[in-house]
Amino acid sequence: MNKTLCKQFFTLILFFPSIGFVFSQSTVLGTKSWQTVLSGNVLSKIEPSSYGFVVITEGRLLNAFSENGQILWQRNLGQKGSGFCVSMNGDFVYTAIDKKLSLFNTSGIALWTIETKTPIVEKPLPGWDGRLFVREKNAISSYTINGLLRFRLEVSDGLDFPLVSLNDGSLLYVQKKNLNGKSTALRISPFGAILEEIIFVDTIRSLTESKNGLVLGLENGNLAVCHVVDNLFDTKWSIKIENKRILDVFSWENNILVQFSDGSFALFDEESKEEIWQTGSITKEKIEDAIFDMEKGIFRSFSRIFVINKDGSVEKNIQVQNNSRFSGLTESGFFVEVKDDWSISAYRIALVENRLHRQSGIKTYPLPPIKASSAELYKNAPTLFQSINLFETEAELISRLRLDIKTVQNSYFFMEKPSQSFEMLALKIKTIQNAAYLGTGEPMSLYESILDRESDESILFQCLRAIQKNAYDYDMRLLLATEKRLVQRNQISDTLLEEYCYTITEICRFMGRKTFMRKGKDLLFSFLDAKYKMTVQETARECLEKIIAFEK
């Protein structure tokens, strides 16, 4: 469906004096915080993470560094070439080299590797419930957190703008196709269906996600915020900026920061569209990296690094010599400089506290209402969930699955004694089995309720097996629910205790964080007590050894 954006706009003339920006004494990088020498050239851009950064180097190595330059782990990727690496969804690291897509957890454990049909052309994009969107050459594909292919949609050639997520969770893909100077884009559901084709009022120069949807800078000088309303892409507001040409746009909490081609910057309120301040010329180069917190933003262009405070003052403006395209900023405010002599050095630019993350604004896509016709479809859910290119059929299945999850949870929360009728037992088993094939974070609340309240061991056994298929426990709710269960319940069969051991181990393996490893070892160590049978102790010991091996 074609849709032309609203052409009404306000005119804003930027003629009043800019805020006087003050440079600090530091206009050079200063003293190195640390330096290290690698085993080869850097082949990917520095990718920030909560613990430091990750980068791909020669020798097919994925390297994870702490903020102070310590190598935390190195993993062989098994394939030569430059590529992309990106840290997301709780510091999982995705790597993309040519057609090879891999997932590593925070400890560097390789969780899975798949091969796409065509080369991957940009960093993967995280979506709602843990799924991942991958832009290939002339295609967009989607994978679950445990590596299941959900869809692959062939598309026409695209421009260099990244795939972005809109306010309703749908995707926007900017096409190379241009209609009389007007950019075009496809809006795609997270299930792979093309929802509409959008025709903009002019050529797009820059875009970024925001809390309200999408910020656009257009060739004609328009600054616009667009969003999805009633399942249609529309313009929330648009203003015409005279005597200025937009070079780039950034989302900064509730505001929009605009970089102009004359090197100046201006901050706008995203709701009122009013300008808050503007600076004089800082840099005419396009920004390569930007890190924001509530008080400031750190920016890196090819030859400059500077800090803009939230009040519009410029704290630093540092010229950088021989800046590599692979250099970058870390989450805490270090500039990591990559050099041709295989060395990397770090310089403290500013202290960033509580960095504002783009993916923190991921929304849940609105699912369709449950149809009577989907009941028959739902009977084949386990088979269908293992298929690809379900498109909107997947949305229908998830809608009905959510209803079943709610029904099961209500049986625990709104009854003094949870119902154990044959019908309810059958519903619980069916719901767990269907949820196990989703490969996302959707069933976590179901599993948590079962671990907390269920008394039937056959249901608990099914639940633990389902968790082992997809142990994505991003906020440790499942591991903590397991601990609570084991502490409060004394009458647990040996077979089920062993299943708990396997589940604890798989959660620790998949998530990889040290906090998970510590908690998992504590739980398994408790099973070594003499009050447990030797079979349980032996299983716990084997699982404990696996977790210790994960940490190496």
pLDDT in tens, 472-522: 998 999 999 999 999 887 789 999 999 999 999 999 999 999 999 999 999
- Structure tokens of 542? 């084997």
Pair type for strands 232-242 and 10-13: parallel
Q: Say whether both 343 and 397 belong to one domain.
A: no
Q: Which of 331, 361, 391 is the last residue of a domain?
A: 361
Q: φ and ψ at 74, to 5 degrees?
A: -130, 140
More confident: 376 or 69 = 69
Q: CA 309, CA 91: separation in Å to the nearest integer?
A: 27
H/E element, 374: helix 374-378
pLDDT at site 219: 96
How many domains does the chain contain in total?
2
Q: CA 87, CA 47: separation in Å to the nearest integer?
A: 7
H/E element, 73: strand 71-76
Using alpha carbons only, give the angle 104, 105, 107 rounded to the nearest 5 degrees. 110
pLDDT at site 20: 42
Residue 88 falls inside a structural domain: no
Q: How many helices (H) and strands (E) does the chain have?
A: 10, 34
Q: What is the CATH number of the domain that holds 477?
A: 1.25.10
Q: Say whether both 458 and 378 belong to one domain.
A: yes
- Structure tokens of 133? 């969107």
pTM: 0.89
Q: Residue 145: CA atoms inside 13 Å, Cβ hemisphere, count?
A: 27
Burial class (CB in 10 A: 0-12, 13-18, 19+), 501: buried
Q: Say whether both 389 and 531 belong to one domain.
A: yes
Residue 25 neighbours by CB distance under 10 Å: 7
CA-to-CA dists, residue 259 to 286, 302, 534, angstroms: 8, 15, 67
Q: List the one residue out of 342, 289, 332, 333 whose CA is nearest residue 315.
A: 333
Residue 405 falls inside a structural domain: yes
- Structure tokens of 330? 């870390």
Under DSSP, the state recorded for 411 is H
Q: Which of 361, 394, 413 is the last residue of a domain?
A: 361
pLDDT tens, residue by residue, 308-363: 999 999 989 999 887 788 999 999 999 999 998 899 999 999 999 877 765 445 56
Q: CA 37, CA 456: separation in Å to the nearest integer?
A: 57
Q: Say whether both 425 and 303 belong to one domain.
A: no
Q: Say whether both 301 and 417 belong to one domain.
A: no
Residue 383 falls inside a structural domain: yes
Mean pLDDT over 130-144 rounds to: 94
CB neighbour burial string for 472-486, b if at least 16 within 10 angstroms, e if fewer: bbbebebbebbbebb
Q: Say whether both 345 and 411 belong to one domain.
A: no
Residue 14 falls inside a structural domain: yes
Evaluate if residue 17 carries a pLDDT over 70. no
Using alpha carbons only, give the angle 116, 107, 73 rounded to the nearest 5 degrees. 95
For the chain, give the mean pLDDT: 90
Q: φ and ψ at 306, to 5 degrees?
A: -150, 160
Longest CA span, the chain? 81
Domain that holds residue 9: 1-31+204-361
- Structure tokens of 164? 């972005």
